[in-house]
Copies of this chain bind each other. A is one copy, B any other.
């Protein structure tokens, strides 16, 4: 039995708990969420759940001795999550996180990554960032496809998804509802974040392929609606923003190129279908299409669940998909 603590009782946290509760070989011992409203409550006060799991506000409220793994479902950025990861590492538990930048933190801040790696080695635990993207579509999937190639010159990939079902936090992060001018301001002030994780995916591919990066350029463009649309009860006028088209182009010393495009928008009428598409130009050329795209929410929860046996099996340290001790697969018991 693997005892698990889930940190974060938001949308991803609750879905993760629901899935963990279906397993026979894992046990969610406790949930941590700093929101004071959860103090003294149990998971089944809020979600359909056959298990009554206590929710605590602080890491200090739990006996960690029999906990093997913490699953962290809060925050995207390394700098936000670092203090929590340090605190958890000091409890000597393995850490699985969906913070996008943690899928390859070296790409964001080598100093913090080195510090986390040293701490993990020192505490004999494993830390791994996972998710559908980064974590699968634009990195693991492409790296696995590369096995069928003798040579690769260029990689193009596009992920088109639909934000219609998402809440206001996500919609705001893509600039939905803004005027074009406001969008540009919010890109500058980093309120519009677009996709978090291009740098991670690109550095992971570069490491796997032994490509030496010389330039990574990212660009965020507004996706503009040509008709009035209603999103979560709010009207967005023609000419305003319904999403963010985030692109990344990476150049490598040996003339290799990676081009990623990830438009995230509310899919209005006649909008092209959602999909994941990967094109490898090399020997041979490969063109793969997943249609519709692998859904971000379920996909990320699946990646968390399926990585559990792998993080338990893995050597200590801050690891990434290239360090996995075997081919990963669905976690069936």
- Using CB atoms and an 8 Å cutoff, list the residues of chain A in contact with chain B: 19, 132, 136, 140-141, 143-144, 146-150, 152, 208-211, 283-284, 286-292, 294-295, 298-299, 301-303, 305-307, 321-330, 332-333
Distance, CA A325 to CA B314, complexed state (A): 11
Q: A284-B298, A290-B288, A321-B327 are in contact. Are A303 and B147 (CB under 8 A)?
A: yes
Q: Given the complex, which residues of B lie within 8 Å of A148, measured CB to CB?
A: 132, 136, 294, 299, 302-303
Chain B residue with the shortest CB-CB distance to A307: B147
Q: Given the complex, which residues of B lie within 8 Å of A152, measured CB to CB?
A: 330
Q: Are A140 and B144 in contact (CB under 8 A)?
A: yes
Q: Given the complex, which residues of B lie within 8 Å of A298, measured CB to CB?
A: 150, 283-284
The A contact surface, by secondary structure, is mixed
- Partner pick for A322 among B321, B322, B326, CB 8 A cutoff: B326
Shortest distance from the beta carbon of A148 to any chain B beta carbon, whole Å: 5
Q: Given the complex, which residues of B lie within 8 Å of A140, measured CB to CB?
A: 144, 147, 327
Q: Given the complex, which residues of B lie within 8 Å of A305, measured CB to CB?
A: 150
Q: Are B287 and A290 in contact (CB under 8 A)?
A: yes
- Partner pick for A299 among B19, B284, B333, CB 8 A cutoff: B284
7 contacts between A and B (CB under 8 A): A146-B329, A148-B303, A149-B302, A208-B327, A209-B329, A209-B330, A323-B326
List the 5 closest A-B pairs by CB distance, nearest first: A146-B330, A208-B329, A210-B332, A148-B299, A143-B329
Number of identical monomers bound together in the oligomeric complex: 2
Shortest distance from the beta carbon of A254 to any chain B beta carbon, whole Å: 9
Shortest distance from the beta carbon of A313 to any chain B beta carbon, whole Å: 11
Q: Are B306 and A147 in contact (CB under 8 A)?
A: yes
Q: Given the complex, which residues of B lie within 8 Å of A322, measured CB to CB?
A: 326-327, 329
Q: Given the complex, which residues of B lie within 8 Å of A141, measured CB to CB?
A: 144
Q: Are B144 and A329 in contact (CB under 8 A)?
A: yes
Q: Are A326 and B328 in contact (CB under 8 A)?
A: no
Distance, CA A149 to CA B291, complexed state (A): 15
Q: A140-B144, A286-B290 are in contact. Are A150 and B329 (CB under 8 A)?
A: no
Chain B residue with the shortest CB-CB distance to A300: B148
Shortest distance from the beta carbon of A304 to any chain B beta carbon, whole Å: 10
Chain B residue with the shortest CB-CB distance to A323: B326
Chain B residue with the shortest CB-CB distance to A142: B329
